[in-house]
A and B are shown apart, each in its own frame.
Chain A
């Protein structure tokens, strides 16, 4: 049992990394990776929302929608995630203004993050139970955070590198992301 949970976690973090293998959540991956500090803040916010979001989404799809109303999944998930994000934002603003300030604009941005919607949908697809759903969400979030922070550190270094002029900016960032993705494909045989 524990072994299975561990496999789900490792599988989502490394083997099926949500950004590099599943290619979800690319907008924050490219957009919020210019600075290490903001990427860490974004990673923290996404981790929280993903985990809570996949938990609540499981509850909704399992207890509210059932099999008859399956076509409402996407719609209701969006609503619930938006609600969760909004609530988190208000809660943070009141309780921890410092964290709220450092997250700033990224918190509302998570609402429109496809990784956050993708994980609950994948959860439903693969018939995960509640704990598995939570772990799947957490694993996806850890994978996202790890890759985002790594990528931001790389991009900070890229700023100082002698990049040929046509490759400067987004071009070299895309190439770097591609190389990272290639590297992560190496994890494919990790779980046997």
Chain B
């Protein structure tokens, strides 16, 4: 702990000169970035088979636009954004839609989800690409095209970018922050992207800045990436707009949006609020790059840079078409597709349910671990109330309290202690001397609270609908009573025969439905030899006779029993 305190002191002294501020807590896990930054980004040719989940982003599942058997071109729209909070899915290569069904997706649940399977034809043929003249079109049109191009936050959160890029009259964005901090160990995809494609990123930033009309624009890069910072600085100097590059101190989780905002602007995002409400908006560098690809090249998001590292032959960064199987990717990198693969970093990532899941927009890193790399943690011991977790928490929470409340499932208290401000960075787990997997408890409590809220919402709707129905029934009854009174005054009604007719109609319909049901059930007696058919017919007639007798009995009995039950 002393080490942490000293380091943060050191950082504060260092920051005094740069005009940056710092956030509380944070940790310094081993970086392990060198392994994957020695070689340039390697493009990966599209594989023979791609699986594209329709839920690759935060929000509504995209709406299908293709059917099985359709031939599609590279970059063609496969699924349209459904509603505002949604993003589209495109074909990463040309080919045929082989299936639209549930496939295993890279999600901690290990559950399958609706996905499109695309068989590549190997021609990799593009659709007609049309660069956008963004200054000539309205901002809304540009935002819509971002939505239709499937641009989402590629830092890992996959929140649809067009929503964050909307101008909001109530909260004008003064500072646009481009996040190139990449604080999590092992991951280097943003680093390599900045080194190699700095100019393109800056083109994307220019568009974002134009959309938000932001006064200031800062690229935040951790000071362990001097090459990337230099490349970005050079590219920013060429830009027509003023873009600053800030080298922020290397401390995990310095790349968290709220933390980076605090470091660069000194502003703290209030609990439960969005950064835009304090006039800041934050995007990942890879998102800026995909905006550039869309606007200047007319290309939707169909690939991303993925760091493949750990126990592999050629650790490095790969430009992977979305939907490629992670097994193929790992094998391409010279690793073994073992079942313990980790998607994301060692701090916030999760174990993939299987190697046979596709690369999605959130896949920034695949780690192939070996037992020496992440040894199994020793068993968790009881909490000793040392509050090291509170010292390390970058969100200024009380992790030990949250742990107790989550553990005892005291969800109201957990919410009261702002569990939803937890960014699940894992700093508390990292420093815990008792090896308690704190974040797992928070995740449990959070999803439990969310489920509770959903249930409550559903109950409120049901209550409203029920009350409305009761009111309606009451009203109808009154109306009927009124009518009856009127009719009684006039002539006698003939209600009974009408009722009978209705009953008869229902009975007839029941018969029809039964016949339909019987027809629908397939029989194994079709397509047999005539002799057998004759035999079957004979048996059937006999059975029908027997059944006719027994079913009438059974029917009446059943009716009786149901009536009794009522």
Chain A residues within CB distance 8 Å of chain B: 156-157, 159-162
Asked if A162 and B382 sit within 8 Å, CB to CB, the answer is yes
The contact string, 1 if C-beta is below 8 Å from chain A, for chain B 397-418, is: 0000001110110100100000
Task: Report yes or no: B382 in contact with A157, Cβ–Cβ below 8 A.
Answer: no
Q: What A residues does B410 contact at CB under 8 A? A: 156, 159-160
Cβ contacts A to B, 15 pairs, < 8 Å: A156-B408, A156-B410, A156-B413, A157-B404, A159-B404, A159-B408, A159-B410, A160-B403, A160-B404, A160-B405, A160-B407, A160-B408, A160-B410, A161-B382, A162-B382
A92 to chain B minimum Cβ distance, whole angstroms, is: 24
Additional A-B contacts beyond A159-B404, A160-B410 (13; CB < 8 A): A156-B408, A156-B410, A156-B413, A157-B404, A159-B408, A159-B410, A160-B403, A160-B404, A160-B405, A160-B407, A160-B408, A161-B382, A162-B382
How far apart sit A162 and B405, CA to CA, in the bound complex (Å)? 13
- Chain A minimum-CB-distance residue to B410: A159
Among residues of B, the one whose C-beta sits closest to the C-beta of A158 is B408
Taking chain A's interface residues, is the majority helix, strand, or loop, or is none over half, making it mixed?
A: helix
CA distance A161 to B407 in the complex (A): 9
**What residues of B have a CB within 8 angstroms of the CB of A159 in the complex?**
404, 408, 410
A117 and B403 alpha carbons, distance in the complex (Å): 42
Interface of B is mostly: helix
A162 contacts across to B, CB distance below 8 A: 382
Task: Give per-residue flags for B367-387: 1 if the beta carbon is below 8 A from chain A beta carbons, else 0.
Answer: 000000000000000100000
Residues of B within 8 A of A (CB): 382, 403-405, 407-408, 410, 413
CA distance A1 to B408 in the complex (A): 50
A162 to B381, CA, bound (A): 10
Closest CB of chain B to A77's CB: distance in Å?
A: 39
Closest A residue to B408 by beta carbon equals: A159
A157 to B404, CA, bound (A): 7
**Nearest chain B CB to A186's CB is how many angstroms away?**
24
CA distance A159 to B406 in the complex (A): 10
| Cα–Cα, bound, A162→B413 (Å) | 19
Which residue, of B382, B405, B408, has the highest number of chain A Cβ atoms within 10 A?
A: B408
A71 to B361, CA, bound (A): 84
Q: Which residues of A contact B413 (CB under 8 A)?
A: 156
CB distance from A11 to the nearest CB of B (A): 34
List chain B residues, Cβ under 8 A from A161: 382
B186 shortest CB reach to chain A, Å: 33
Q: Chain B residues near A156: list those with CB within 8 A.
A: 408, 410, 413
A33 nearest CB across to chain B (Å)? 14
- Tell me the nearest residue of chain A to B441, going by C-beta: A160
List of B residues within 8 angstroms of A160 by Cβ: 403-405, 407-408, 410
Nearest-Cβ distance from residue A97 to partner chain B, whole angstroms: 21
CA distance A70 to B403 in the complex (A): 57
Bound Cα distance from A157 to B400, whole angstroms: 11
| Closest Cβ neighbor of B413 among chain A residues | A156
- List residues of chain A with CB within 8 A of the CB of B405: 160
By a CB distance below 8 angstroms, the chain A residues around B408 are 156, 159-160
* Nearest CB of A to B4, in Å: 26
| B404 neighbours in A (Cβ, 8 Å) | 157, 159-160
Q: Nearest chain-B residue to A157 (Cβ)?
A: B404
Shortest distance from the beta carbon of A36 to any chain B beta carbon, whole Å: 9
Complex alpha-carbon distance, A156 and B413, angstroms: 10
> Given the complex of chains A and B, what is the CA–CA distance between A33 and B405 in angstroms?
17
Q: In the complex, A162 Cα to B407 Cα: how many Å?
A: 10
Shortest distance between the CB of A173 and any CB in chain B (Å): 14
Nearest B-chain residue to A159, judged by Cβ: B408
**Assembly CA distance A116 to B287 (angstroms):** 68
Q: Given the complex of chains A and B, what is the CA–CA distance between A160 and B405 in angstroms?
A: 7
A161 to B382, CA, bound (A): 8
Closest-CB distance, A158 to chain B (whole angstroms): 9
- In the assembled complex, the Cα of A160 lies from the Cα of B403 at a distance in Å of 8
Q: Cβ of B407: which chain A residues have Cβ within 8 Å of it?
A: 160
Shortest distance in angstroms between B204's beta carbon and chain A's nearest beta carbon? 47
Closest 7 CB pairs of A and B: A159-B408, A160-B404, A160-B408, A160-B407, A162-B382, A159-B410, A157-B404
- Min CB distance A27 to B, Å, is 24
* A157: B residues at CB distance < 8 A: 404
Task: With both chains docked as a complex, state the minimum distance between the C-beta of A153 and any C-beta of chain B, in angstroms.
Answer: 12
Cβ distance A4 to chain B, nearest Cβ, rounded Å: 42
Q: Of residues A156, A159, A160, A161, which shows the largest number of chain B Cβ atoms within 10 Å of its Cβ? A: A160
Q: How far is the CA of A150 from the CA of B403 in the complex (A)?
A: 21
Residue of B nearest to A36 (CB): B413
User: What is the CA–CA distance of A126 and B335 in the complex, to the nearest angstrom?
Assistant: 86
Taken together as a complex, chains A and B put the C-alpha atoms of A162 and B408 apart, in Å, by: 10
Q: How far is the CB of B152 from chain A (nearest CB, A)?
A: 38
Nearest A-chain residue to B409, judged by Cβ? A159
CA distance A48 to B408 in the complex (A): 33
CB distance from A144 to the nearest CB of B (A): 24
A96 to chain B, nearest CB (A): 23
Distance between Cα atoms of A161 and B404 in the complex (Å) = 8
Smallest CB separation, A75 vs chain B (Å): 43
B559 to chain A, nearest CB (A): 47
User: What's the Cα separation between A157 and B413 when bound, in Å?
Assistant: 12
**What's the Cα separation between A161 and B403 when bound, in Å?**
11
A160 CA to B402 CA, complexed, in Å: 10
Docked complex Cα distance between A160 and B382 (Å): 10
Whole-angstrom distance between the alpha carbons of A85 and B523 in the complex?
A: 77
Q: For the complex, what is the distance from the CA of A162 to the CA of B403, rounded to whole Å? A: 13
The CA-CA distance from A161 to B408 in the complex, in Å, is: 8
**A161 to B384 Cα, complex, angstroms:** 11
Q: CB-nearest residue of chain A relative to B382?
A: A162
Chain A's nearest CB lies how many Å from the CB of B500? 55
Instruction: For residue B428, give the distance in angstroms from its CB to the closest CB of chain A.
Output: 15
Give Cα distance in the complex from A157 to B405, angstroms: 8
A157 to B408, CA, bound (A): 9
Return A67 CB to nearest CB of chain B, in Å. 54
Complex Cα–Cα for A156 and B401 (A) = 11
Q: How far is the CB of A172 from chain B (nearest CB, A)?
A: 13
Set of chain A residues within 8 Å of B382, measured between Cβ atoms:
161-162
CA distance A159 to B408 in the complex (A): 5
Distance in angstroms from B389 CB to nearest chain A CB is: 14
Q: How far is the CA of A159 from the CA of B382 in the complex (A)?
A: 14
Cα distance A160–B404 in the bound complex, in angstroms: 5
Closest CB of chain A to B359's CB: distance in Å? 40
B385: shortest Cβ distance to chain A, in Å?
A: 10
CA distance A156 to B408 in the complex (A): 9
CA–CA, A160 and B410, complex, Å: 9
A156 to B410: give the CA distance in the assembly, Å.
9
Q: Complex formed: what's the CA distance from A99 to B453 in Å?
A: 26
A160–B436 CA distance with the chains assembled, in angstroms: 13
CA distance A156 to B405 in the complex (A): 9
Q: How distant is A45 from chain B, measured CB to nearest CB, in Å?
A: 22
